[in-house]
Amino acid sequence: MVAAVGFESNPSQTLTLQVNSSKDGLGAVLLQNNKPIEFASRALTKPEQNWVQIEKETLAVVYGLERFNQYTYGRNVVVLNDQSPLEFILKKPLSQAPKRLQALIMRLHKYDTTFQYVPGRSLVLADTLSRAFPTQRNSQEYCVHAMNSGAIPDIPDQRLQEIRHATKTNEEARQLLQTIWNGWPPQRDQLPLRVRPVVEALLRLIALWWEDKQPL
């Protein structure tokens, strides 16, 4: 679930992101000058419900930043959360973090964030959203994950090699890269069969993003 508010963001002023994870859901609200810009919430999947709480809270940070990517990317965002250990975990070398947290932390590295602990009673909006989530996943939950490996110097070499090997051996990724290097064909039906679903998903993402930007 995503809801936009009439308040317009000022690019020259600080953004604040409240995030919270309940037992079964995630909640996030983007604010500026204590005024909400957008709200978002979603249910945790069955596997995510079994994660320990610190993993759920890290996922809530990732969810908020990525869901409001059009606002949060390329500028500093103050992240408010009621889990004080989270600040220290996010500052640890990547190689020292548990594997599940490694994947989440890598997704955070493209953002410029300042973590700030606040008591749970101060996260009223995010806490409420994390408990009032839609029961069905929305089509707008599509998300493209990007990672700049050069910006994360402590990724273990073995892990980087695994990422490179998986990219080279994945047939869809290989054909997509080949299409990008060789140039896009003039007609969509001239794309390789394995590439078409990826391109369709990207086009749907662009269409959804454009719809979100249109005034109500």
Residues with pLDDT less than 50, the chain? 3-6, 139-146, 149, 151, 216
Q: In what helix (H) or strand (E) does residue 54 lie, and over which residues does it extend?
A: helix 53-67
Task: Give me the pLDDT at residue 141, please.
Answer: 47
**Tens-digit pLDDT profile for residues 44-54:** 999 999 999 99
Q: Looking at this protein, which amino acid is placed at residue 19?
A: V
161 shares a domain with 81 = no
Contact present, 15 and 72 (Cβ < 8 Å): yes
Task: For residues 110 and 173, state if they share a domain.
Answer: no
Amino acid at 75: R
- Count the Cβ atoms, other than its own, within 10 Å of residue 3: 11
Would you say how long the chain is, in residues? Answer: 216
Q: How far apart are CA 45 and CA 65, in angstroms?
A: 19
**Amino acid letter, 178:** Q
Pair (54, 93) in one structural domain:
yes
pLDDT for 1: 52
In a domain, 144, yes or no: no
> Are both 107 and 176 inside the same structural domain?
no
As a whole number of angstroms, the distance between CA 191 and CA 187 comes to: 7
Q: Supply 86's token pair.
A: 């989270």
Judgement on whether residues 132 and 163 belong to the same structural domain of the protein: no
pLDDT of residue 70: 87
Same domain, 127 and 167: no
Count of domains for the chain: 2
Phi, psi of 36 (to 5 degrees): -70, 140
Which tokens go with 60? 């809530």
pLDDT tens digits, 63-74: 999 999 989 988
Q: The whole model's pTM is what? A: 0.65
Q: What is the DSSP string of 184-212?
A: --SSGGGS-TTTHHHHHHHHHHHHHHHHH
User: Both 133 and 108 in a single domain?
Assistant: yes
Helix (H), strand (E) counts: the chain = 9, 6
Vertex 207: Cα angle to 13 and 72 (nearest 5): 20
